């Protein structure tokens, strides 16, 4: 495997920094950044959090704006929608678009904006962590603009929604109700749960994604038919979590780990603005105990998602189960066990490119198809941050080096085939560029350890 220094003969850092910045400038719409001009021409929730982490090194002010644009589309019940639609983009450029979600009408009772069109589902809560790190990049500018006092109430409401209406299992964890919500859309972990869903009729929708990439790299038509059915049912119940008969309800390790890391960030934000940080720290501690109690598997040495419809743990080994490495205060025994799993045959750290999204040894592994095996840059960034926090500096350094090499060589690909490192999905993908800028800035995630 060639390294970052070898693939980029002269001034590798400058060249990478320049091209990553160009990607972000090219994908900026004036108020936010699209993940990709072609495939994803609107604003996505967890993308914007990752993008802000890179933008903070280019323009802290623009990073703040990125997050505040997203937060301006927050619903009255606290949810941050997973897509904020850009009205200037033609209908049909992305499916499912505003006509499908109908947020202003179907989401009215849940407090959706009458003016800003959004989806009705959510994505992982990386936002408070991103807001805190954006502030830390330039505290003086942040204070001058009153950034933290403005975003704090919205971020707190977002966490209250997840900890309240979304604690469907009643055990202190947030649930996801659609495979798009954990962000790892077609993970094999969801196969059994999705198989129970009656697909929407063929021909009742038209996919836009296949115009921009190879069908072999994307979810299947049958996956889409089930995604559409689940979203339709939620919409037709007013996006009301209590009223919707959720046929897909899962406690996902990564989603909850990010909520915990963000809850600690909210405590830091509260301290910085003179609010009471105590409730945030207590909630983070309670959620950590719930995460370990409900999802940790000491035999497999990984966190497994839990299917709330059957009540059973989902047996598959997904990168999601490693991301709790980012949880501040995770017991060291669990951190060490996760690091061993990462080096083992299922994830092959150092022997493949980055961290595969799914178990390399499983029959369902597919190195090309989206979240069924390919390595993604946002999960690599999270695992890198978690390893650094756990004191696993050598592994963190290796992953950082691989990240920068692959990001540059692949032209900021959306994801990679883990064995060859070949680019998959689309190129000039925003979070790949943003997180490369972030890793370029600091040799290891110095702010990861608490
Ligand atoms: C559905 C935007 C998003 C990411 C997700 C990724 C993909 C959308 C899609 O793109 O999902 O939300 O159309 O496939 O799976 O993680 O946020 O980049």
Atom of ligand 1 nearest to the CA of 209: 13
Distance in Å, CA 183 to ligand 1 centroid: 6
**47 is annotated as an active-site residue:** no
Q: How confident is the model at residue 36 (pLDDT cuts 50, 70, 90)?
A: very high
What's the 222 CA to ligand 1 centre distance in angstroms?
Answer: 17
Q: What is the DSSP string of 49-112?
A: HHHHHHHTTT-HHHHHHHHHHHHTT--TTS---SEE--TTSPTTSSSS-HHHH-HHHHTTTTT-
The predicted pLDDT at position 1 comes to: 59
Neighbours of 50 (CB within 10 A): 25
Of 34-38, 103-107, 209-213, 411-415, which range is least confident? Answer: 209-213
Q: Which residue's alpha carbon is nearest to atom 5 within ligand 1?
A: 183
Q: 322 pLDDT exceeds 70?
A: yes
| Chain length of the chain | 450
For the packed helices 393-409 and 12-26, what is the interaxial angle rounded to 10 degrees?
60
What is the average per-residue pLDDT within 405-432? 98
The protein residue whose alpha carbon is closest to atom 10 in ligand 1 is 40
Query: What is the mean pLDDT of the segment spanning 45-58?
Result: 98
**Would you tell me how many other CB atoms lie within 10 Å of the CB of residue 114?**
10
Q: How confident is the model at residue 401 (pLDDT cuts 50, 70, 90)?
A: very high
Residue nearest to atom 16 of ligand 1 (CA): 183
Whether 222 has a pLDDT exceeding 70, the answer reads yes
From atom 4 of ligand 1, which residue's Cα is the shortest distance away? 183
Nearest CA to ligand 1 atom 8: 180
Burial class (CB in 10 A: 0-12, 13-18, 19+), 214: exposed
* Mean pLDDT along residues 166-180: 98
Q: What is the pLDDT of residue 252?
A: 98
Q: What is the mean pLDDT of residues 192-210?
A: 96
CA of 277 to the centre of ligand 1 (A): 33
In the prediction, which pLDDT does 11 show?
A: 54
Residues 253, 323: contact at Cβ < 8 Å? yes
Q: What pLDDT, in 10s, does the model give residues 96-111?
A: 999 999 999 999 999 9
Instruction: Determine how many CB atoms are found less than 10 A away from the CB of residue 315.
Output: 13
* Residue from 185, 268, 366, 392 carrying the catalytic annotation: 185
414 CA: nearest ligand 1 atom: 18
Ligand 1 center from residue 357 Cα (angstroms): 14
Rg from Cα positions in the chain: 20
> Which pLDDT score, from 0 to 100, does residue 442 have?
77
Residue 9: pLDDT over 60: no
- What pLDDT, on a 0 to 100 scale, did the predictor assign at position 67? 99
Of 68, 268, 414, 417, which is the active-site residue?
414
Q: Of all atoms in ligand 1, which is nearest to the CA of residue 123?
A: 17
Question: What is the whole-number distance in angstroms between the Cα of residue 126 and the centre of ligand 1?
Answer: 15
CA-376 nearest atom, ligand 1: 16
How many A from CA of 9 to the centre of ligand 1?
Answer: 34
Per-residue confidence (pLDDT) for residue 4, from 0 to 100: 56
**Rounded mean pLDDT of 110-126?**
98
Within a 10 A sphere around the Cβ of 59, how many other Cβ atoms? Answer: 18
Q: Work out which ligand 1 atom sits closest to the CA atom of 83.
A: 12
Question: Token pair for residue 17?
Answer: 């920094």
CB atoms within 10 A of CB 358: 28
Residue 166 scores a pLDDT above 60: yes
Q: Please report the atom of ligand 1 found closest to the CA of residue 94.
A: 13
pLDDT in tens, 145-155: 999 999 999 99
pLDDT at 10 over 50: no
Q: How far is the CA of 279 from the centre of ligand 1 (A)?
A: 32
Name the pairing type of β-strands 83-84 and 423-424. Answer: unpaired
Res 19 pLDDT > 80? yes
pLDDT band at 227 (very low <50, low <70, confident <90, very high): very high
* 414 in active site: yes
Q: Residues enclosing ligand 1, CB less than 6 A?
A: 35, 40, 44, 46-47, 82, 180, 183, 185, 209
Specify the range with the lowest mean pLDDT, choosing from 126-140, 234-248, 296-310, 430-444: 430-444
- Of 38, 44, 81, 228, the one to substitute when testing ligand 1's pocket (max ligand atoms within 8 A of C-beta) is 44
Residue with the smallest CA separation from ligand 1 atom 3 is: 44
């Amino acid at each position: 495997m060639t390294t970052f220094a070898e693939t980029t003969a002269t001034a590798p850092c400058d060249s990478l920094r320049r091209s990553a910045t160009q990607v972000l400038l090219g994908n900026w719409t004036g108020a936010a950044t699209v993940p990709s001009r072609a495939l994803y021409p609107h604003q996505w929730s967890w993308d914007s959090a990752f993008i802000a982490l890179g933008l903070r090194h280019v323009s802290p002010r623009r990073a703040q704006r990125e997050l505040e644009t997203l937060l301006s589309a927050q619903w009255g019940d606290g949810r941050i929608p997973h897509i904020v639609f850009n009205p200037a983009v033609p209908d049909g450029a992305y499916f499912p678009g505003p006509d499908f979600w109908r947020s202003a009408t179907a989401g009215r009772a849940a407090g959706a904006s009458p003016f800003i069109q959004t989806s009705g589902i959510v994505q992982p809560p990386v936002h408070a962590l991103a807001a805190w790190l954006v502030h830390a990049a330039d505290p003086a500018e942040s204070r001058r603009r009153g950034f933290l006092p403005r975003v704090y109430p919205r971020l707190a409401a977002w966490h209250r929604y997840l900890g309240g209406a979304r604690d469907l299992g009643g055990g202190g964890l947030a649930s996801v109700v659609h495979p798009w919500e954990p962000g790892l859309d077609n993970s094999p972990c969801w196969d059994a749960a999705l198989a129970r869903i009656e697909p929407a009729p063929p021909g009742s929708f038209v996919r836009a994604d296949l115009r921009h990439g190879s069908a072999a790299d994307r979810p299947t038509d049958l996956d889409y038919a089930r995604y559409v059915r689940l979203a339709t049912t939620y919409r037709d119940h007013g996006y009301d979590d209590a009223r919707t008969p959720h046929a897909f309800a899962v406690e996902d390790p990564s989603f909850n780990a990010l909520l915990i890391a963000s809850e600690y960030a909210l405590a830091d934000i509260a301290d910085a603005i003179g609010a009471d940080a105590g409730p945030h720290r207590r909630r983070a501690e309670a959620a950590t105990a719930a995460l370990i109690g409900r999802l940790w598997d000491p035999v497999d040495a990984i966190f497994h998602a839990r299917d709330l419809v059957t009540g059973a743990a989902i047996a598959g080994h997904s990168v999601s189960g490693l991301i709790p490495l980012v949880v501040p205060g995770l017991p060291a025994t669990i951190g060490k066990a996760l690091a061993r799993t990462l080096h083992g045959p299922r994830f092959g750290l150092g022997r493949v490119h980055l961290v595969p999204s799914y178990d390399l040894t499983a029959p369902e592994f597919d190195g090309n198809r989206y979240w069924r095996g390919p390595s993604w840059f946002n999960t690599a960034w999270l695992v890198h941050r978690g390893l650094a926090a756990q004191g696993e500096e050598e592994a963190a350094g290796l992953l950082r080096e691989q990240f920068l090499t692959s990001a540059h060589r692949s032209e900021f690909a959306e994801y990679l085939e883990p064995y060859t490192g070949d680019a998959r999905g689309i190129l000039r993908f925003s979070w790949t560029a943003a997180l490369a800028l972030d890793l370029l800035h600091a040799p290891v995630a110095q702010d990861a350890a608490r």
